[in-house]
Structure 1
Amino acid sequence: MDKITHQVRAEHWTRILNECMNSGMSKTAWCRVNGISEKQFFYWQRILRRETYEASQNPALPVAETEQLSAVQKTVSFAEIKLPVVSPDASSVFHPDLVIRKGNLVLEISNSASAELLSRVGGILHAE
């Protein structure tokens, strides 16, 4: 697939992914309702995320490449969350103060979580 064709398809799938995210429905249900192949949906989601991540890691991209990816970069975002390094202690058992479930994702959070961490987690959950 040449760059122009890929760019057109990427823009098309970016719009589809945004519509799904803004619908408030699960991805699987949204695909079913809108007649979108789940296989294609998740394929393009993975491709667009990978391209956006790669672009964010390579600040030396030529201007033309950056302009081509700008639509993708505006719609898909990533947040790096650095967790403190803690040595595992078999005697301590974590008891979360908050449990968030979204699909197959389960987040267990304690009251000691920083405001920055909570903000980033909220942003990630909203993006899904």
Structure 2
Amino acid sequence: MKISEAKRQVMLQQWTELIKEQKARGMKVNAWCKERGIGEGQFYYWQKQVRQTLLDSVSSPDGNGAALVKVDINSAPDEAPQRALLPAPQGAEPTPPQNVFRLQFKGSMLEIPSGSRAEDISEILRAVSLLC
């Protein structure tokens, strides 16, 4: 790993913690940034970088179709929910899951079939928590 990439990873980790802190305190971004002496633009830049890194990390690099599907969470509540389905575990037949965890939020639904890898679920929930 190059030094620049290692530095970026450290910055992403630090900003992930800062973003979590801001959310946990429940303060508006501008007030929190002012209190911490951080530029608001810098906060939003790194928030975008953290989100993109999380999205990239849950996308499958091996191209087997196990990728995160972008879902519009701003759809109207009375519309039918949009769905994102986490692929079945590797080696499993692509049949509709009987046991599935459904996460519905603002007209969007994420379905995670039973038997999905804990690492995949963890990464998705972490990404969703930063988006909400």
Alignment TM-score, normalising by the size of structure 2: 0.49
Structure 2 unaligned residues grouped into runs of 5+ = 82-101, 109-124
Find the aligned partners of 1:15 and 1:27 in 2 and give their Cα distance. 14
Kindly indicate whether the alpha-carbon contact (under 8 Å) linking 1:79 and 1:120 is maintained by their aligned counterparts in 2: no
**Number of aligned residue pairs:** 89
Partner of 1:44: 46
Structure 1 residues 36, 111: CA separation in 2 closer, same or farther (over 3 Å shift)?
A: same
Distance (Å, rounded) in 2 between the aligned partners of 1:107 and 1:24: 24
Conservation of the 8 A alpha-carbon contact between 2:80 and 2:107: no
Query: Separation in 2 of the partners of 1:28 and 1:22?
Result: 15
5+ residue gaps, structure 1: 62-77, 84-105
1:16 paired residue number: 18
Measure how far apart 1:12 and its partner are: 1.1
Aligned to 1:109: 77
Once superposed, what is the RMSD of the aligned Cα atoms? Answer: 3.8
CA–CA distance in 1 between the matches of 2:106 and 2:56? Answer: 24
Percentage of identical aligned residues: 23
Tell which structure's C-alpha radius of gyration is larger.
1
Q: Which has the higher strand share?
A: 2
Structure 2 CA distance for aligned equivalents of residues 19 and 120 of structure 1: 28
Deviations 1:14-51 (A, max 9, x none): 11111101011121221122211111111111111111
Say which of 1, 4, 22 aligns to 1:2. Answer: 4
Select the structure that is richer in helix: 1
1:108 and 1:127 map into 2 onto residues whose CA distance is 17
2:77 partner amino acid: I
